[in-house]
A and B are shown apart, each in its own frame.
Chain A
Amino acid sequence: MLLITCPFCGPRPELEFGYAGEAHVVRAQDPREVSDLQWTEYLYQRSNVRGVHAERWRHAHGCAQFFNALRDTTTDHFVATYRIGEPRPDAAVEAGR
Protein backbone atom coordinates (compact mmCIF):
# COMPACT_ATOMS: atom_id res chain seq x y z
CA MET A 1 0.00 0.00 0.00
CA LEU A 2 1.15 3.52 -0.78
CA LEU A 3 2.37 5.31 2.34
CA ILE A 4 1.96 9.07 2.69
CA THR A 5 3.98 10.91 5.33
CA CYS A 6 1.65 13.15 7.31
CA PRO A 7 3.67 16.11 8.67
CA PHE A 8 2.03 15.47 12.05
CA CYS A 9 1.62 11.68 12.30
CA GLY A 10 4.38 10.27 10.11
CA PRO A 11 4.06 7.60 7.41
CA ARG A 12 0.50 6.32 7.15
CA PRO A 13 -1.55 4.25 4.69
CA GLU A 14 -3.06 6.10 1.73
CA LEU A 15 -6.56 4.92 2.75
CA GLU A 16 -6.57 7.45 5.59
CA PHE A 17 -6.06 10.43 3.30
CA GLY A 18 -8.15 12.58 1.03
CA TYR A 19 -6.95 14.60 -1.94
CA ALA A 20 -7.86 18.28 -1.89
CA GLY A 21 -6.68 19.86 -5.12
CA GLU A 22 -3.74 21.99 -6.19
CA ALA A 23 -1.78 23.80 -3.47
CA HIS A 24 -0.65 27.42 -3.32
CA VAL A 25 -3.67 28.74 -5.24
CA VAL A 26 -3.96 32.17 -3.67
CA ARG A 27 -7.33 33.82 -3.21
CA ALA A 28 -7.38 37.57 -3.72
CA GLN A 29 -7.53 39.53 -0.47
CA ASP A 30 -10.43 41.50 -1.88
CA PRO A 31 -12.22 39.68 -4.75
CA ARG A 32 -13.95 42.94 -5.72
CA GLU A 33 -10.57 44.37 -6.74
CA VAL A 34 -9.71 41.71 -9.34
CA SER A 35 -10.98 41.41 -12.90
CA ASP A 36 -13.42 38.73 -13.98
CA LEU A 37 -10.61 37.06 -15.90
CA GLN A 38 -8.35 36.94 -12.82
CA TRP A 39 -11.20 35.60 -10.72
CA THR A 40 -12.03 32.96 -13.30
CA GLU A 41 -8.39 31.89 -13.34
CA TYR A 42 -8.38 31.65 -9.55
CA LEU A 43 -11.53 29.54 -9.58
CA TYR A 44 -10.96 27.26 -12.53
CA GLN A 45 -7.46 27.36 -14.00
CA ARG A 46 -5.10 24.74 -12.63
CA SER A 47 -1.55 23.98 -13.70
CA ASN A 48 -2.22 20.30 -14.59
CA VAL A 49 1.44 19.46 -14.22
CA ARG A 50 3.03 16.43 -15.77
CA GLY A 51 5.75 15.82 -13.19
CA VAL A 52 6.14 17.27 -9.70
CA HIS A 53 2.86 18.81 -8.60
CA ALA A 54 2.19 20.76 -5.39
CA GLU A 55 -1.13 19.65 -3.98
CA ARG A 56 -3.20 19.65 -0.82
CA TRP A 57 -4.01 16.49 1.08
CA ARG A 58 -5.98 15.93 4.24
CA HIS A 59 -5.28 13.23 6.80
CA ALA A 60 -9.03 12.74 7.11
CA HIS A 61 -9.02 9.46 9.07
CA GLY A 62 -6.08 10.53 11.22
CA CYS A 63 -5.23 13.91 12.68
CA ALA A 64 -7.77 15.55 10.31
CA GLN A 65 -5.24 18.20 9.24
CA PHE A 66 -4.67 19.61 5.77
CA PHE A 67 -1.08 19.68 4.52
CA ASN A 68 0.75 20.11 1.23
CA ALA A 69 2.63 17.52 -0.78
CA LEU A 70 4.88 17.42 -3.81
CA ARG A 71 3.91 14.40 -5.86
CA ASP A 72 5.14 13.27 -9.23
CA THR A 73 2.02 12.84 -11.32
CA THR A 74 3.75 10.41 -13.67
CA THR A 75 4.95 7.97 -10.99
CA ASP A 76 2.71 8.74 -7.99
CA HIS A 77 5.93 9.18 -5.97
CA PHE A 78 5.58 11.58 -3.03
CA VAL A 79 8.72 13.73 -3.13
CA ALA A 80 7.91 15.69 0.05
CA THR A 81 5.10 16.63 2.41
CA TYR A 82 5.03 19.88 4.37
CA ARG A 83 2.71 21.87 6.60
CA ILE A 84 0.31 24.51 5.39
CA GLY A 85 2.08 27.88 5.48
CA GLU A 86 5.52 26.45 4.78
CA PRO A 87 7.16 27.30 1.43
CA ARG A 88 7.26 24.76 -1.38
CA PRO A 89 10.41 22.68 -0.64
CA ASP A 90 11.92 22.63 -4.11
CA ALA A 91 15.26 21.45 -2.77
CA ALA A 92 13.49 18.19 -2.04
CA VAL A 93 12.46 17.96 -5.67
CA GLU A 94 16.07 18.13 -6.80
CA ALA A 95 17.13 15.58 -4.18
CA GLY A 96 14.28 13.26 -5.14
CA ARG A 97 15.26 13.07 -8.78
Chain B
Amino acid sequence: MAETMARLHPLAAVKTVADAHLLAQGPMGRFSLRLAANAAPAPLGALGLSLPLAPCRAAQSETAAALWLGPGEWLLLTAPERASAVEAALRAELAGQAFSLVEISHRQTGLSLSGPRAAQRLNAGCPLDLDLASFPVGMCTRTVFAKAEIVLWRTGVEAFHIEVWRSFVPYLWELLVIVGAETS
Protein backbone atom coordinates (compact mmCIF):
# COMPACT_ATOMS: atom_id res chain seq x y z
CA MET B 1 0.00 0.00 0.00
CA ALA B 2 1.45 3.33 -1.01
CA GLU B 3 1.75 5.89 1.75
CA THR B 4 2.73 9.50 1.46
CA MET B 5 5.09 10.91 4.05
CA ALA B 6 3.91 14.20 5.48
CA ARG B 7 6.48 16.98 5.26
CA LEU B 8 7.04 18.38 8.73
CA HIS B 9 8.39 21.80 9.53
CA PRO B 10 11.91 21.41 10.97
CA LEU B 11 10.67 23.00 14.19
CA ALA B 12 7.71 20.61 14.50
CA ALA B 13 9.33 18.72 17.39
CA VAL B 14 10.93 21.75 19.05
CA LYS B 15 9.08 22.84 22.16
CA THR B 16 10.97 26.08 22.86
CA VAL B 17 8.64 29.00 22.43
CA ALA B 18 10.14 32.15 21.02
CA ASP B 19 9.28 35.75 21.71
CA ALA B 20 7.31 37.89 19.28
CA HIS B 21 10.44 39.09 17.46
CA LEU B 22 11.52 35.66 16.21
CA LEU B 23 9.27 33.94 13.69
CA ALA B 24 9.66 30.74 11.71
CA GLN B 25 8.35 31.08 8.20
CA GLY B 26 6.27 28.58 6.33
CA PRO B 27 7.04 27.02 2.95
CA MET B 28 8.71 29.14 0.28
CA GLY B 29 9.84 28.55 -3.28
CA ARG B 30 13.65 28.74 -3.54
CA PHE B 31 16.13 28.42 -6.37
CA SER B 32 19.88 28.57 -6.72
CA LEU B 33 20.69 30.39 -9.97
CA ARG B 34 24.17 30.38 -11.47
CA LEU B 35 25.15 32.43 -14.52
CA ALA B 36 28.49 33.38 -16.00
CA ALA B 37 29.81 36.04 -13.62
CA ASN B 38 30.44 38.49 -16.46
CA ALA B 39 27.02 38.01 -18.03
CA ALA B 40 24.87 41.08 -17.37
CA PRO B 41 21.39 39.64 -17.52
CA ALA B 42 18.46 41.71 -18.69
CA PRO B 43 15.51 42.23 -16.35
CA LEU B 44 13.84 38.88 -15.78
CA GLY B 45 10.11 38.94 -16.44
CA ALA B 46 9.70 35.66 -14.58
CA LEU B 47 10.76 37.41 -11.38
CA GLY B 48 9.72 40.96 -12.16
CA LEU B 49 13.20 42.24 -11.32
CA SER B 50 16.77 42.63 -12.51
CA LEU B 51 19.34 40.41 -10.84
CA PRO B 52 21.44 42.55 -8.47
CA LEU B 53 25.03 42.74 -9.74
CA ALA B 54 26.48 44.69 -6.82
CA PRO B 55 28.04 42.40 -4.21
CA CYS B 56 25.88 41.51 -1.21
CA ARG B 57 22.74 43.22 -2.42
CA ALA B 58 19.18 41.94 -2.80
CA ALA B 59 16.52 42.99 -5.29
CA GLN B 60 12.84 42.57 -4.62
CA SER B 61 9.67 42.68 -6.67
CA GLU B 62 6.08 42.09 -5.60
CA THR B 63 6.39 38.39 -6.33
CA ALA B 64 10.04 37.48 -5.86
CA ALA B 65 13.40 38.35 -4.35
CA ALA B 66 16.90 37.77 -5.73
CA LEU B 67 19.83 37.74 -3.30
CA TRP B 68 23.42 38.13 -4.58
CA LEU B 69 25.46 35.42 -2.86
CA GLY B 70 28.60 35.49 -5.01
CA PRO B 71 29.74 36.50 -8.50
CA GLY B 72 27.23 34.80 -10.80
CA GLU B 73 25.31 33.23 -7.92
CA TRP B 74 21.88 34.23 -6.67
CA LEU B 75 19.32 32.86 -4.25
CA LEU B 76 15.80 33.34 -5.62
CA LEU B 77 12.78 33.39 -3.32
CA THR B 78 9.14 33.15 -4.41
CA ALA B 79 5.80 32.19 -2.95
CA PRO B 80 5.59 28.36 -2.84
CA GLU B 81 2.59 28.15 -5.13
CA ARG B 82 4.41 30.18 -7.79
CA ALA B 83 7.63 28.16 -7.73
CA SER B 84 6.96 25.82 -10.63
CA ALA B 85 5.61 28.60 -12.85
CA VAL B 86 8.61 30.80 -12.03
CA GLU B 87 10.99 27.95 -12.81
CA ALA B 88 9.43 27.28 -16.20
CA ALA B 89 9.42 30.97 -17.10
CA LEU B 90 13.05 31.41 -16.01
CA ARG B 91 14.20 28.42 -18.03
CA ALA B 92 12.49 29.86 -21.09
CA GLU B 93 14.01 33.31 -20.53
CA LEU B 94 17.54 32.04 -19.93
CA ALA B 95 17.52 29.55 -22.80
CA GLY B 96 20.53 30.01 -25.07
CA GLN B 97 23.01 30.97 -22.37
CA ALA B 98 24.92 28.82 -19.92
CA PHE B 99 23.07 28.69 -16.62
CA SER B 100 22.18 26.41 -13.77
CA LEU B 101 18.83 26.63 -11.99
CA VAL B 102 18.32 24.25 -9.09
CA GLU B 103 15.19 24.08 -6.98
CA ILE B 104 16.15 24.13 -3.30
CA SER B 105 12.79 24.97 -1.71
CA HIS B 106 13.05 22.28 0.95
CA ARG B 107 16.79 22.53 1.60
CA GLN B 108 16.41 25.48 3.93
CA THR B 109 13.94 27.35 6.07
CA GLY B 110 13.34 31.05 6.60
CA LEU B 111 13.35 32.74 9.99
CA SER B 112 12.58 36.37 10.56
CA LEU B 113 14.10 38.34 13.38
CA SER B 114 13.03 41.88 14.21
CA GLY B 115 12.96 44.40 17.00
CA PRO B 116 15.29 47.02 18.41
CA ARG B 117 17.75 44.34 19.59
CA ALA B 118 17.71 42.21 16.44
CA ALA B 119 21.25 43.13 15.38
CA GLN B 120 22.59 42.67 18.90
CA ARG B 121 20.95 39.25 19.03
CA LEU B 122 22.51 38.22 15.75
CA ASN B 123 25.89 39.42 16.89
CA ALA B 124 25.79 36.85 19.68
CA GLY B 125 26.67 34.31 17.00
CA CYS B 126 27.46 36.26 13.85
CA PRO B 127 30.77 38.17 13.66
CA LEU B 128 29.64 40.63 10.95
CA ASP B 129 29.47 44.35 11.61
CA LEU B 130 25.68 44.87 11.59
CA ASP B 131 25.76 48.62 12.10
CA LEU B 132 23.38 50.28 9.62
CA ALA B 133 26.29 52.09 7.98
CA SER B 134 28.15 48.87 7.14
CA PHE B 135 25.17 46.53 6.77
CA PRO B 136 22.37 48.70 5.33
CA VAL B 137 18.81 47.71 4.52
CA GLY B 138 18.84 45.59 1.37
CA MET B 139 22.23 44.03 2.08
CA CYS B 140 22.44 40.24 2.11
CA THR B 141 25.22 37.73 2.43
CA ARG B 142 26.15 34.20 3.28
CA THR B 143 27.80 34.18 6.69
CA VAL B 144 27.92 32.16 9.89
CA PHE B 145 25.91 32.08 13.10
CA ALA B 146 27.84 30.08 15.71
CA LYS B 147 28.44 26.72 14.00
CA ALA B 148 25.75 27.15 11.34
CA GLU B 149 26.09 28.72 7.92
CA ILE B 150 23.25 31.13 7.20
CA VAL B 151 22.16 33.65 4.61
CA LEU B 152 21.42 36.96 6.29
CA TRP B 153 19.32 39.64 4.60
CA ARG B 154 18.48 42.97 6.21
CA THR B 155 14.91 43.70 5.14
CA GLY B 156 14.42 46.71 7.41
CA VAL B 157 16.27 48.90 9.90
CA GLU B 158 15.26 46.48 12.64
CA ALA B 159 14.31 43.46 10.55
CA PHE B 160 16.34 40.53 9.22
CA HIS B 161 15.47 37.51 7.13
CA ILE B 162 17.58 34.43 7.84
CA GLU B 163 17.87 31.38 5.59
CA VAL B 164 19.32 28.28 7.21
CA TRP B 165 19.69 24.67 6.13
CA ARG B 166 16.95 22.45 7.42
CA SER B 167 18.95 20.35 9.88
CA PHE B 168 20.42 23.48 11.48
CA VAL B 169 17.03 25.09 12.13
CA PRO B 170 16.45 23.76 15.70
CA TYR B 171 20.04 24.68 16.64
CA LEU B 172 19.75 28.22 15.34
CA TRP B 173 16.26 28.61 16.79
CA GLU B 174 17.25 27.53 20.30
CA LEU B 175 20.31 29.79 20.28
CA LEU B 176 18.31 32.81 19.13
CA VAL B 177 15.70 32.13 21.80
CA ILE B 178 18.36 31.94 24.53
CA VAL B 179 20.09 35.09 23.28
CA GLY B 180 16.72 36.82 23.08
CA ALA B 181 16.06 36.08 26.75
CA GLU B 182 19.51 37.32 27.69
CA THR B 183 19.33 40.59 25.75
CA SER B 184 15.75 41.59 26.60
CB within 8 Å of B: which residues of A? 1, 8-10, 12-13, 15-16, 61-65
Is the CB–CB distance between A15 and B144 below 8 Å?
yes
Is the CB–CB distance between A61 and B128 below 8 Å?
no
CB within 8 Å of A: which residues of B? 55-56, 69-71, 73, 127-128, 141-144, 149
A63, B56: Cα distance in complex, Å: 8
Is the CB–CB distance between B142 and A64 below 8 Å?
yes
The interface residues of chain A lying within 8 Å CB-to-CB of B141 are 9, 62-63
Is the CB–CB distance between A63 and B71 below 8 Å?
yes
Q: Chain A's nearest CB lies how many Å from the CB of B145? A: 10
The interface residues of chain B lying within 8 Å CB-to-CB of A10 are 55
Is the CB–CB distance between A65 and B71 below 8 Å?
yes
Please pick, from A1, A9, A15, the residue contacting B55 in the complex, using a CB distance under 8 A.
Answer: A9
The interface residues of chain B lying within 8 Å CB-to-CB of A64 are 69-70, 73, 142
A13, B128: Cα distance in complex, Å: 7
The interface residues of chain A lying within 8 Å CB-to-CB of B69 are 63-64
Please pick, from A8, A61, A63, A65, the residue contacting B144 in the complex, using a CB distance under 8 A.
Answer: A61
Is the CB–CB distance between B149 and A65 below 8 Å?
no
Please pick, from A1, A13, A15, A61, the residue contacting B142 in the complex, using a CB distance under 8 A.
Answer: A61
A16, B70: Cα distance in complex, Å: 14
Is the CB–CB distance between A8 and B128 below 8 Å?
no
A34, B127: Cα distance in complex, Å: 46
A65, B127: Cα distance in complex, Å: 19
Q: Chain A's nearest CB lies how many Å from the CB of B154? A: 15
Is the CB–CB distance between A8 and B73 below 8 Å?
no
Q: Chain A's nearest CB lies how many Å from the CB of B1? A: 45
Is the CB–CB distance between B149 and A9 below 8 Å?
no
Q: Chain A's nearest CB lies how many Å from the CB of B147? A: 10
A8, B73: Cα distance in complex, Å: 13
Interchain Cβ contacts under 8 Å between A and B, 19 examples: A8-B70, A8-B71, A9-B55, A9-B56, A12-B128, A12-B143, A13-B128, A15-B144, A16-B127, A16-B143, A16-B144, A61-B142, A61-B144, A62-B70, A63-B56, A63-B70, A63-B71, A64-B69, A64-B73
